[in-house]
Amino acid sequence: MTLTKIVNQIKSYIFLTFAVCVSSLGWAGFLIPSDIIGGGVTGLSSTFYFLWGWDIGITSLTINIVLILLALKKLGFSYGVKTVYCIVLFSTMLSVLTKYFTEPIISDIFMATLTGAALGGSGTALLFINGGSTGGTEIIAMIINKYKNFSLGRLLLTFDIVIISTSYIVFQDIEKIMYGLISMAIFSYCIDLVISGNKQTVQIFIITDKYEEMMDKIMTVGNKGVTMIDSMGGYTREHRKILMVISKKRTSSILFKIIKDIDSEAFVTMGNVSNVFGKGFDRIKG
């Protein structure tokens, strides 16, 4: 293994450790001490904790070990070293932090739900980005999906709703179920936001008489590739040039500054696009 690969691996594990800390803080510092049962294995472990006082970290680790062994037998695959590391570290952090945080960091239950779910979802997303995972009910969903034609998303949603609904058995309180469902929605939203937010791509079409100058500036100053398309106006029947640019959304403001400086009267459209493959973007998988 080269020095570069070793450094990259070290960086990856640092990010994974940080992500686990963020996620476990969301659960142990906000959700669990507020008596909120979320979804997944951690939510199920929380139920056992509230019912019988079982250590959440140990329970979570035990359930995940059983699920991984089940996956090995039924699906014929194994989780990587990073995932095993994350599962063990996450379980350990939960065991330690739940003993430390006997009261929620924020006393208001709604703000605790919002903050805890946001931290939990963001941490989980960072794990996914860096090739880690804390295990969970997706293993069961994948096993069922192998034998029955059910949607993975619907199965996971069903599991989460069932687990969250167990809070009524524990607390006899409908509000606790609602807070659990709210936490699940925020959790999912934060995962999507963190994972896709940095990868959002836009497609910009520019119609301008100064297309040559515009194209040169976009390539040299904006450092973007440009495609020139021949077109004809439907009403005027005039032949025009259209410039097409694919850009990360976060850098699109540079392009609009270039467009405004060269031709503030240019006709411009911008739309979100997904699954952009090629140089500078994602690789085609499969």
In this prediction, residue 263 carries a pLDDT of: 92
Q: What is the 3-state secondary structure (H, E, C) of 237-280?
A: CCEEEEEEEEEEHHHHHHHHHHHHHHCCCCEEEEEEECCCECCC
Instruction: Supply the pLDDT for residue 286.
Output: 45
> Which pLDDT does position 1 carry in this prediction?
60
* pLDDT of 192: 77
Helix (H, G, I), strand (E, B) or coil at 231: strand
pLDDT at 63: 93
Question: Which residues does residue 245 pair with via DSSP β-bridges, in sequence order?
Answer: 204
Q: What is the pLDDT of residue 275?
A: 67
Q: Mean pLDDT in runs of 10 for the chain (286 residues)? A: 81 93 96 94 94 94 88 63 88 94 93 95 86 76 69 74 91 92 90 72 92 92 90 88 88 86 91 73 58
Q: Hey, what are 173's tokens?
A: 């309180």
Which tokens hold the place of 138? 């997706």
